A and B are shown apart, each in its own frame.
Chain A
Amino acid sequence: MAELVIRNLVKTYGDHRVVDTINLKAETAELVALLGPSGCGKTTLLRSIAGFVPISSGSIEIDGRDVSKLAPNKRNTGMVFQNYALFPHMSVAENVAFGLAMRKVPKSEIEKRVAHALDLVSLTDYAERRPRALSGGQQQRVAVARALVVNPDVFLLDEPLSNLDAKLRMSVGMQLRALQQKLGLTTVFVTHDQKEALMMADRLVIMRAGRVVQEGTAEHLYQEPATRFVADFLGHSNVLTGTPVEGGFRTDGGIKLPSASTDGPRVLAVRPENLLLGGETEGVETVLDATVETVTYLGSITEASLLLPGGERVVAHHQNRTGRELHLAVGDTIRVGWRTNATQLLIDDMSEAA
């Protein structure tokens, strides 16, 4: 069990800073999820921890020891590859035994530990099979057992659920999380699926273009996103562009809204579930007349897209509880409103990219 500390890590390919000055810490037994859009450098960061990517500068410490110059086989990390990377010419048991054999563990102990590891992932009956003769979910469990059996200091997972079908993903994810907690493994987990990250992680690290944008617990990131990018990436957020003015915020469409005033930030964000419709707007600070553009009934919620008087479009989620179903038709005019404390003024880190 160990602590992972990454300091000022940089990886460049040519002029391209794929990982750009990243600082990251995973405490003993903590599961940290690296989350971000495709190409933001998650895999590169994970592979540099494992030692497959020579880093350009910075340091990687496991339990206070700088491992950044060590060969992959000297780092004692346990990695689960996205495609599992099982050894096709070996049986399941031989796959799991491989790391122990490399560590020159005595035969009798290898047998015991392999049996235990296979039991942990409920694959005891499949020990003699070749990986090819297993389902995707079973292969994934072999990969997990193979990585865990050597007691790695750091457990690394690159989108371990992405090759599973949607139904399995949830349950396998929960099992992985339970295993990680039971064994107290320091874990870094890469995904671009926010649901996976929310479900499994102690702490989320949101990455973008090689940098960490924000990190924290799921609640913290969802409720207090630091920037427009985070608000939009984690869940959906309605973003109104404009300028902060005396005592409020004026949208580009010309509506003046009350808000906490600040100098720097430039966009106002409201989550769809914080948009109140019709009678619910009674007594809230902001109320506008909007036109209904689309209505989608999604069972527990109804999603409506609304056109505000300033020309902005927002999405509202209405919770369908018995007795308060919402009857909306396209073209209706409806009152929409929100409390000022449900809005956030955020740094606009999206416009320069767009």
Chain B
Amino acid sequence: MARALTSRLLFGSLIVLLYLFLLLPVLGITYVSFFNSQFLSFPPPGYTLRWFANVFEQEALISGFITSAEVAVLASLIGVVSGVLASLALVHFEFPGREAIKSFLLAPLLVPGIVIGTALYVFYIQIAQSTGWNPTRSLVGLVIAHVMLTIPWSVRLIAASMGMLDRSVEEAARNLGAGALKAFLLVTLPRMRAGIVAAALFSFVISFENLEVSVLLVQPGATTLPIAMLQYIEWNMDPTLAAASTVQILVIGALLLISDRFVKLSQVV
């Protein structure tokens, strides 16, 4: 009895420690965002909410947030749609070069972000020189870059969720008179919902927090949030960024809670 209790206690404390370890940076950032001091110092001289107010006065951060959100929404949308189509081809059809295409689609996971960024930068310059249209002048260049980042995740997650589907269910729909497209839309697609939501969430987060690919591809005045933050701490050491991060954590947390209402996230990841 006693030994069982001790081992349960030990196990329990291990779990608590692990969670603490994972959450500590988040808790730390949140804590720091309330410090009433111009420079980070410990112990804090007092507590304040003024850094939160300051976040909303920083136009660079606000417009960075908007840019990041726009890019992330577009990149995950495009990523998920292409992910569904690519998975459909990869899972349902046998065709020559299938394995090669699969590796190609997953490849950006293996290439360092800064390399992708540089390569695209050079590529875009060439496009600009030969056509006169510069992709980095609008969000297009950035969105294309982020789609490259989101596609491997979408393909992975959606193909996995599709691969687990039993094909006879789609066949049953065909047998009952549904054409190929109707069977896909009415029966297969709804059953992939969990994978699609997971892919969209992952894509959004990956795009939203990306720094290294974006850093070369943004134009002055239209940076993303991570870049705006980087620029801010070059000149300031106050807890404004901690406050901005706290807001960001809250927003993403809210997003997760909302999507959990539609798809139980525990089924997804």
| Chain A residues engaging chain B, CB cutoff 8 angstroms | 50-52, 71-73, 76-79, 81-83, 85-89, 98-99, 102-103, 146-147, 150
Q: How many chain-B residues does the 8 Å CB contact rule pick out?
A: 19
Q: Count how many pairs of residues, one from A and one from B, have CB atoms less than 8 Å apart in the complex.
A: 64
Chain B stretch 55-95: residues in CB contact (< 8 A) with chain A: none
Interface centre among B169, B173, B175, B178 (most CB of A within 10 A): B175
Check B187–A73 contact: CB distance below 8 A.
no
Pick the contact of B169: A73, A85, A103, A150 (CB < 8 A): A85
Q: A89-B191, A102-B182 are in contact. Are A83 and B177 (CB under 8 A)?
A: no
Nearest-neighbour CB distance to chain B for A251, whole angstroms, equals 49
- Listed residue (B169, B173, B176) with the most chain A CB atoms within 10 angstroms of its CB: B176
Contacts of A150 in B (CB 8 A): 176-177
* B168 x A83 contact (CB < 8 A): yes
B residues near A83, Cβ cutoff 8 Å:
166, 168
A79, A86, A103, A146 interface centre (most CB from chain B within 10 Å)? A79
Task: Compute how far the CA of A87 lies from the CA of B188 in the bound complex, rounded to whole angstroms.
Answer: 9
Tell me which residues across on chain B come within 8 A of A73, comparing CB atoms.
174-179, 183
The answer to whether the Cβ of B172 comes within 8 Å of any Cβ in the partner chain is: yes
Q: Is the CB of B171 within 8 A of A103?
A: no
B190 nearest in chain A by CB position: A89
CA distance A72 to B173 in the complex (A): 9
Can you list 30 contacts pairing A with B, beta carbon distance less than 8 Å?
A: A50-B175, A51-B174, A51-B175, A52-B171, A71-B174, A72-B171, A73-B174, A73-B178, A78-B175, A79-B171, A79-B172, A79-B175, A82-B168, A83-B168, A85-B168, A85-B169, A85-B172, A88-B169, A88-B191, A89-B190, A89-B191, A98-B176, A98-B178, A98-B186, A102-B176, A102-B178, A103-B177, A147-B175, A150-B176, A150-B177
Q: B186 to chain A: which residues have CB within 8 Å?
A: 98
- Closest chain A residue to B175, Cβ basis: A79
Residues of A close to B168: CB separation below 8 A? 81-83, 85
Q: Shortest Cβ distance from A81 into chain B, in angstroms?
A: 5
Which residues of chain B are within 8 angstroms of A102 by Cβ–Cβ distance? Answer: 176-178, 182
Nearest B residue (CB) for A98: B176
> What distance in Å separates the Cβ of A146 from its nearest Cβ neighbour in chain B?
7
